[in-house]
Amino acid sequence: DFFKTLEEKSDNGALRGDYSRCDANYVVQQDWNAYTPEQHELWRRLYQRQAKLMHGRACDVFIESLARMDAADGIPRFDQTSEALRKATGWELVAVPGLVPELTFFEHLANRRFPVTVWLREPHEFDYIVEPDVFHDFFGHVPLLFNPTFADYMQQYGKGGLKALKLDGLTHLARLYWYTVEFGLIQTEQGLRAYGAGILSSGGEVEYCLTDPAPRRIAFDVERVMRTLYKIDSYQETYFVIRDFQQLFDGTAPDFSPLYERLGKLPDFAADTLLPGETNIAPNGSKGA
């Protein structure tokens, strides 16, 4: 979650989290014993509400991994999940105080470490939170890291981020993260399913993105994604749909250097654009879908 940089946020005085104890990579101890019974209870409520919504809406690998993660009873211990993850895909979790600088974020991903925020939202933020907390990071992002292809994609994304920093490509690369890792949809034989963490940790968007007639649903294409602006304070106006995780990996494997060059000179698309010739994929439950 690098889309708002540390500086931007701290300029607003809005940055949340205790950064006084982190190391050079912004890693902290999770300090699991410091969570209160009330926080564990809030986690259970968040988890139960959200887990119930996953059937028929989240992709299979998300549901299967979530079951293996054993995180229903309270805020999980990152160490335990890391152990399972290491065995599955060689990834591990690191605890961070909150948003971290882009360079740090990319370095973690490039080394198969996923940064998870340690703090939990307040009860009044049950339905909506501006900055990612432990529930979004853990519930939303960690399950997919158990899938080998997606896990590899995330590492390549981290490496690509380090490269984009040097090539002035971050604006375009960030849109790829947004429309895949955070808000991606996948086509299955049973219909559309969500795999993006921003969707899967949200109480409302998880239904909206699959069945509401309003937003556009467009077949995934790297260049199209990179040119498309996005909303940060409302449900998305466009979702991009992949066929499988291999398409995501293969479609993003080519060298982006010439792409950044070219896109730098082309205009962006508004978040609600449907281009001539583009198919708007039918939502679940609609006629013919």
Part of the chain binding ligand PHE (CB under 6 A), chosen from 61-69, 72-80, 122-130, 251-259: 251-259
Where are the alpha helices (H) located in 168-231, listed in sequence order?
A: 170-177, 197-200, 205-211, 222-226
Residue 1 is a binding residue for Fe ion (CB under 5 A): yes
Stretch that binds ligand PHE, among 20-28, 68-76, 234-242, 254-262 (CB under 6 A): 254-262
* CA dihedral for 54, 58, 64, 70, sign (positive or negative): negative
Structure-block tokens of residue 25: 């990579």
144 binds ligand PHE (CB under 6 A): no
Q: Is 247 exposed, middle or buried (0-12, 13-18, 19+ CB in 10 A)?
A: middle
The CB-of-159 to ligand PHE minimum distance in angstroms stands at 6
Complex with ligand PHE: residue 35 or 195, whichever CB lies closer: 195
> In this structure, what DSSP letter does residue 58 have?
B
Site for Fe ion in 109-138 (CB under 5 A): 132
Please list, in sequence order, all residues whose beta carbon lies within 8 angstroms of the beta carbon of residue 255, skipping any fewer than 6 positions away. none
Angle at 136 between CA 135 and CA 138, to 5 degrees: 65
Report phi then psi at 19, rounded to 5: -95, 10
Query: Applying CB under 6 A, does 104 fall inside the site for ligand PHE?
Result: no
Which one of the spans 4-12, 34-42, 199-207, 246-254 is the region binding ligand PHE (CB under 6 A)? 246-254
Which residue among 117, 193, 252, 283 contacts ligand PHE (CB under 6 A)?
A: 252
Q: Which residues bind Fe ion (CB under 5 A)?
A: 1, 132, 197
Q: Which residues bind ligand PHE (CB under 6 A)?
A: 153, 156-157, 160, 163, 176, 252-256
